[in-house]
Amino acid sequence: MAGSLNKVLLIGRLGADPEVKQMVNGKSVARLSLATSQSWKDKNTGEKKEKTEWHRIVVFNEGLVNVVQQYLKKGAQVYVEGQLSTRKWKDEQSGQDKYSTEILIQGYNSSLTMLGGGNQNNIASQDNKQNFDDSPAPDQSGLDDDIPF
């Protein structure tokens, strides 16, 4: 193959507060559950339809993990740029191989931007910028959906 590209761009809302954990090497990792939705009108009934997709986002950039933990909460709208990655793991109960597809935010060519409010707050891992403010987040109390995972 002459060249290839693995790039994912998403805008959505967090379905839960970020989950931050320590890895074996002592570094932190953040996991986000991001919902993207599309809506349309049914041609036959005229009824409004909506479909929501859930995406697993994994943030490995140490500085970005700290900002995610401090500033992102359930319902926050974010723009993410990352790489698609599928990992294989073994289910301890059944012993069967399982697969998880995630969007990785790490190193060069990845970013996370907090959306909403009066100005955009960009947190870009590719050049280690962490521009943000602590203005109050907009009311997003209508987002109490259960996360399917």
**pLDDT digit string, tens, across residues 28-77:** 999 999 999 999 999 999 999 999 999 999 999 888 899 899 999 999 99
**Quick one: which of 129, 20, 138, 122 has its CA closest to 76?**
138
* Confidence (pLDDT) at 107: 83
CA separation for the pair 108, 126 (Å, rounded): 4
Task: Kindly report the three-state secondary structure assignment for every residue of 34-47.
Answer: EEEEEEEECCCCCC
* Confidence (pLDDT) at 117: 52
CA separation for the pair 126, 129 (Å, rounded): 8
The share of the chain scoring above pLDDT 70, in percent, equals 77
Contact present, 87 and 99 (Cβ < 8 Å): yes
Average pLDDT over residues 111-123: 65
- The pLDDT-based confidence of 108 (bands split at 50, 70, 90) is confident
- The pLDDT-based confidence of 98 (bands split at 50, 70, 90) is very high
* Confidence (pLDDT) at 67: 87
Contact present, 101 and 81 (Cβ < 8 Å): no
**pLDDT digit string, tens, across residues 13-31:** 999 999 999 999 989 999 9
Q: Is the pLDDT of residue 121 over 50?
A: no
* Confidence (pLDDT) at 109: 83
The larger pLDDT score, comparing residue 79 to residue 1, is at: 79
| pTM (two decimals) | 0.71
Class of domain 8-38+51-130: mainly beta
CA separation for the pair 55, 1 (Å, rounded): 28
Question: 97 has which bridge partners?
Answer: 90
**CB neighbours of 6 closer than 8 A, spacing ≥ 6?**
83, 84
